[in-house]
């Protein structure tokens, strides 16, 4: 089977490498071209030729947002116009449910199969090939694609019709996003009350307050590192999707709404290029403290911001 992998960013690059290990000759494409040399050394064929990509039987996408995915498939140089009936597009990107359903319908009209298969897990799990993939679409197509997804993910779940994968990913992301906003709000309060940041971190991450978000971000926050995860400004799209579904379905989501306000404030304060841990800077600024691994002062609190 002739395959292509499009999008070699933070998640796509290691995913493509894992697929490449068992499928030499994989066609790869990325807007920047930065990963081409590395993947070519591993046996990939790098190309910017859209027709060559469209000539594949199976095309994986790992792209940043709705606009890029839609344009890559249906723009003036979009792949869909050249793909053969019976070929398959698997979108591992995180995009909106509405666009996913629309893409499936457009491709089906051309005789092209579509599977939405967004993935969950940080870049380290993409490297290890231990991502979780949530899939929506025709179950027969899912069964055909599953062996290839197994090269990139260790937990692969069929969720139902087209769009179900994106909905499942959204549920997971919204819970994660709320956890991150809670960390940003509560931990600076601990320092304001005179508690040692490192000891509080140890308590949280060994107690009932721990979460995947705290285990990943709190050590980075203590070290003042805010570039270890997905940029805030890109993660915001999940909150927009959640708000849209809340409005459309009439489902009240007050906790999510409050978390969204923290994300918005962080972006407005200029932290959009940093990871979600940087949201803590909103409340550090408000309270005049820092949650960092610094020696406690004589009064027992960590150093305050100047």
Q: What amino acid positions are annotated as catalytic residues?
A: 169
Structure tokens at 56: 């594949």
d(CA 88, CA 94): 18
For the chain, helix (H) and strand (E) counts, in that order, are 13, 9
Query: Which pair of tokens denotes residue 8?
Result: 């070699």
Please give the structure tokens belonging to residue 100: 């996913």
The beta-carbon contacts of 18-24 under 8 Å, at least 24 apart in sequence, are 18/126, 18/129, 18/151, 18/152, 19/60, 19/148, 19/151, 19/152, 20/44, 21/151, 22/151, 23/148, 23/151
Phi/psi at 153 (5° precision): -135, 145
Beta pairing partners, 45? 27
Q: Per DSSP, what are the bridge partners of residue 60?
A: 5, 90
Write the DSSP symbol of residue 304: B
* CA dist., res. 128 & res. 153, Å (int): 9
80 contacts 61 by C-beta, under 8 angstroms:
no
């Amino acid at each position: 089977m002739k395959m292509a992998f499009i999008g070699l960013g933070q998640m796509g690059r290691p995913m493509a490498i894992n697929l490449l290990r068992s499928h030499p000759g994989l066609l790869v494409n990325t807007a920047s071209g930065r990963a081409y040399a590395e993947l070519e050394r591993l046996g990939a064929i790098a190309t910017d030729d859209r027709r060559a990509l469209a000539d594949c039987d199976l095309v994986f996408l790992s792209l940043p947002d709705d606009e890029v995915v839609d344009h890559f498939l249906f723009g003036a140089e979009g792949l869909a116009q050249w793909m053969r009936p019976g070929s398959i597009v698997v979108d591992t990107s995180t995009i909106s449910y509405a666009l996913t359903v629309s893409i499936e319908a457009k491709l089906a009209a051309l005789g092209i199969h579509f599977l939405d298969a967004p993935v969950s897990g940080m870049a380290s799990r993409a490297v290890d090939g231990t991502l979780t993939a949530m899939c929506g679409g025709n179950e027969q197509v899912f069964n055909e694609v599953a062996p290839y997804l197994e090269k990139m993910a260790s937990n692969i779940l069929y969720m139902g019709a087209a769009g179900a994968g994106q909905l499942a990913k959204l549920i997971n992301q919204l819970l994660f996003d709320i956890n991150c906003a809670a960390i940003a709000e509560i931990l600076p309060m601990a320092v304001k009350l005179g508690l040692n940041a490192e000891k509080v971190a140890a308590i949280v991450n060994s107690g009932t307050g721990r979460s995947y978000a705290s285990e990943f971000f709190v050590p980075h926050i203590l070290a003042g590192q805010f570039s270890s995860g997905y940029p805030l400004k890109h993660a915001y799209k999940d909150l927009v999707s959640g708000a849209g579904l809340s409005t459309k379905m009439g489902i009240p989501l007050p906790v999510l709404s409050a978390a969204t306000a923290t994300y918005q404030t962080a972006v407005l304060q200029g932290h959009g290029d940093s990871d979600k841990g940087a949201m803590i800077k909103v409340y550090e600024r408000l309270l005049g403290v820092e949650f960092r691994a610094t020696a406690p002062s004589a009064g027992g609190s960590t150093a305050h911001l100047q």
